[in-house]
Amino acid sequence: MFTYELQQAARHAELLREADAQRLVNLARAARRAHRALARRSGDHAPGGQVNTDHDRFVTAA
């Protein structure tokens, strides 16, 4: 009976470590998502940012 309780306590501790690790991953993802959204709103040169639409820069060839 003692080995069963010991195994159960070890499994419980392992599950807690996995949950903490998953929480950390989710936090990092949310921070990255927020950073990208902020960069998009501020107009930085981030992926998905504004596109240069200056079409009058070059004249057409004759």
Q: In percent, how much of the chain has pLDDT > 70? A: 69
At residue 50, the pLDDT reads 60
The pair of structure tokens assigned to 50 is: 């504004």
pTM, 2 dp: 0.57
- The CA-atom distances, in angstroms, between 57 and each of 4, 28, 39, 60, 61 are 77, 42, 27, 10, 13
What is the per-residue pLDDT for 49? 56
Structure tokens at 42: 């501020």
The more confident residue out of 53 and 12 is: 12
pLDDT given at position 42: 75
Residue 55, pLDDT score: 65
Query: Token pair 């080995």 is at which residue?
Result: 3
